[in-house]
Structure 1
Amino acid sequence: MSAPHHPIRRRDRALEEKETLRLLEEAEWGVLATVDADGWPYAVPVNHAVVDGALIIHCATVGHKLANLAFNPKVSYCAVTVAEALPAELATRYASVVVFGVAQLLTDEAEKRAALRALGLRFAAEHPEVVDRELDKDLFRTAVLRVRIERATGKARR
């Protein structure tokens, strides 16, 4: 089954695919949404990197997120790059992206290390030695998810 497709109501605010993916790459964090075996949604803020067109997210090796993903690997992810209230207009200036995809837990150590390093360098590009040191120290107690993006939509009010 493919990702859900609900057209954006305000087509005048829809972004082209290239700009949508650029927004996703620029966003420093987003909210990952999963669902548990009883149908309860769970949404948690996380940071991410985009590597080879997929979202890379890290987490602990056990927890609510991984339990949900073991039940159902389908996820939604929302990231916002602009959010500014415009009180005089009773409106908001915003730019956001919503992703639908399937999460996969990386188990190959080399693949996991490369993905986690890309994530670390995204936030600490000027300190690769720190990224490598922390990777060596924490790789065994860190899970890495790769979310294959099936669909992404972007929307903005400039």
Structure 2
Amino acid sequence: MKMETSAKLYSLNYSNVKTYLFALLFVAGNIALPQLCHLVPFGGPTLLPLYFFTLIASYKYGFRVGLLTAILSPVINHLLFAMPAAAVLPAILIKSTLLAGTAAIAARTVKSVSLLAVLGVVLSYQIIGTAFEWILVGDFYVAAQDFRMGIPGMLIQWFGGYALLKAIAKL
């Protein structure tokens, strides 16, 4: 099994209309996927669906598309469905932004779709994000919820993110 795939990776500018079109596409994914996952008991905290398309957007199309996706997805989901709850929205926005940054940096550094790079992205944003969340809420047990409940979601991000990035690598 080949663990690395050469890929067309982009870094779109804010002046490019494609930046906003791709961001809207990925935000739509980040709205639909959580709705599906919330049909399963504890689907949100276990499967971490709100981060999935942010990973894809940032890795494939760069930080700007990723950042738009990272910020708009949780805010729009909150406004439409009150999920995530207002109390956790700051932590989710921090983690989403960290995900956008780490995915874009990994893609720019590795210049390919790599299973190890995607793992590094997922672990980096989760570990750093947990530290920020701990500072915000003052409770490590609460801050570490993604590591207590969200391992299936992290695995989906790692393997599912890699598989989707590999599938769209030549686009």
Greater helix share, structure number = 2
Task: Compute the TM-score of the two structures, normalised by the length of structure 2.
Answer: 0.29
Greater strand share, structure number = 1
Which one has a bigger Cα radius of gyration? 1
Task: Compute the TM-score of the two structures, normalised by the length of structure 1.
Answer: 0.31
